[in-house]
Amino acid sequence: MDTTPDRILGRCLSKVKPLVSEAERSPMGAMKKLIQEQPDIRNLALGEASFDPPDELVQIASSVMADKVARPNRYTTTRGLPEMRQAAARFTERLTGIAVDADETILITVGGTEALHLATKVLLEPGDRVLLANPGWGPMATLAQRQGAALEYYELEKQEAWHITEEPILERLEPGVKLVVVNSPSNPTGAMISAEGLRRVVERAKETETFVISDEVYHNFAYSRPFASALPYDPSLENLMLVNSFSKSLAITGWRLGYAIAHPWLIRQMDVYKESMSACTPSVAQWAVAQYLDSADEYLAGVSALCESNVRRLTEIMRAIPGVKCPAAEGGFYLFPSFEGMGLTSMQVVERLLRGGVAVTSGSAFGSLGEAAVRLCVAMYWEDLEVAARRIEAALTSS
């Protein structure tokens, strides 16, 4: 059969230059489809919480959707509801001790991912040098590459736990590096950077005129040390953007609600670009979270404690499996164990565990230091995670 592009696509589409390589597709897409088709598979692959969102928040959202007077189901402003931006500003001040201008320095986004997408569109040009973590969140590299950036990496440190140490970042922060991204707690390792280490990175970035993106979406999940935000070290936002999200901490990933905090000029640039891309962030999510957020502390503390306990218990189980090395997670809601001692590649582990009824994410999707590892999400009730843990044990120890 003739399989030329002209026959497959037709004459018009065959003349279009592809915007992306389809090989760039995240393995998450195939994994989501498989999990939907086979509901008995225990899902430790997707980066989302499987515990329940706050009852009060769900009730507020339900009331919002039924409101026939204010009609909050309609578009909001592109920058976000004033009430949502003000709630995010209050939340940020409680978290960091720094007051931010809700009108000028906050943009409500379609999850944290849209904030990163908008930032790379505004900040990066072809040939710009970008410094990322290895291992690190794969889509960040994709976003930078699509702008024509040249990627460079700093390595995370792996001992009994994964760590983000500042020295590898500082060694590579030199004039000519346009952007450095720090994600603490880290996806996929749970590694964290100390407050002093983050201060040194931000200060060096000012000296080298390098822009800093601090990805803080896992801020609520800090176990071995207090969470440190970059905001206190550049409150003027001269060369800093914070990315945060309520998706993970409130278990509402499908609601798509994040935000960026940045210099007013950068916020205006991102705002204009967002208008033609998504128009606004989901309105019901904004209305509901804006009303709920000031009373969220008890819920947030509870889910953080749940995930910390899950991390500890699953780490013990993984370390008991011969050939598995499982560094502790300092924060976040993932473990990133290595199976190199079993002589297995990441994909071999993924396939073996899938046959055993557990979906996990290949570590190779997170960089060269992720090879022979997999990412395990622990953000669920222990009774669900324990079933997955026992299946993992069985799959890896059966002959």
Dihedral sign, Cα of residue 176, residue 264, residue 118, residue 15: negative
Owner of token pair 């000012």: 206
Query: 65 in a domain, yes or no?
Result: no
Residue that finishes a domain, picked among 295, 324, 355: 295
- If asked whether residues 193 and 219 sit together in one domain, one would say yes
Query: 63 in a domain, yes or no?
Result: no
- If asked whether residues 162 and 289 sit together in one domain, one would say yes
pLDDT of residue 71: 85
Give the CATH number, domain containing residue 376: 3.90.1150.10
pLDDT of residue 23: 62
Q: Give tens-digit pLDDT for 191-202.
A: 999 999 999 999
- If asked whether residues 151 and 182 sit together in one domain, one would say yes
Residue that finishes a domain, picked among 270, 295, 320: 295
Query: 61 in a domain, yes or no?
Result: no
Render the burial of 269-307: b for 16+ CB within 10 Å, e for the rest.
bbbebbeeebebbbbbbbbbbbbbbeebeebbeebbebb
What's phi and psi for 365, nearest 5 deg?
-70, -10
Give every residue of the chain whose pLDDT is below 70, as ranges. 1-7, 22-36, 39, 399
Give the CATH number, domain containing residue 161: 3.40.640.10
Assign 95 to helix, strand or coil: helix
Taking the CA of residue 110 as centre, how many other CA atoms within 13 Å lie in the half-sphere pointing to its CB?
Answer: 16
Best CA proximity match to 79, nearest among 112, 111, 102, 113:
102
- If asked whether residues 33 and 168 sit together in one domain, one would say no
- If asked whether residues 12 and 146 sit together in one domain, one would say no
Query: 1 in a domain, yes or no?
Result: no
- If asked whether residues 303 and 323 sit together in one domain, one would say yes
Query: 250 in a domain, yes or no?
Result: yes
CB 207 within 8 A of CB 197: no
Query: 267 in a domain, yes or no?
Result: yes
Q: Give tens-digit pLDDT for 99-133.
A: 999 999 999 999 999 999 999 999 999 999 999 99
- If asked whether residues 21 and 106 sit together in one domain, one would say no
- If asked whether residues 133 and 244 sit together in one domain, one would say yes
- If asked whether residues 291 and 342 sit together in one domain, one would say no
Residue that finishes a domain, picked among 275, 295, 315: 295
Domain that holds residue 38: 7-53+298-397
Query: 16 in a domain, yes or no?
Result: yes
| 3-class secondary structure per residue, 174-216 | CCCEEEEEEECCCCCCCCCCCHHHHHHHHHHHHHHCCEEEEEC
Assign 90 to helix, strand or coil: helix
- If asked whether residues 208 and 353 sit together in one domain, one would say no
Assign 243 to helix, strand or coil: strand
Number of domains, the chain = 2
Residue 80: count other Cβ atoms within 10 Å of its Cβ: 26
- If asked whether residues 261 and 224 sit together in one domain, one would say yes
- If asked whether residues 152 and 92 sit together in one domain, one would say yes
pLDDT of residue 392: 97
Residue type, 35: I
Q: Could you tell me the pTM of the whole model?
A: 0.92
Query: 58 in a domain, yes or no?
Result: no
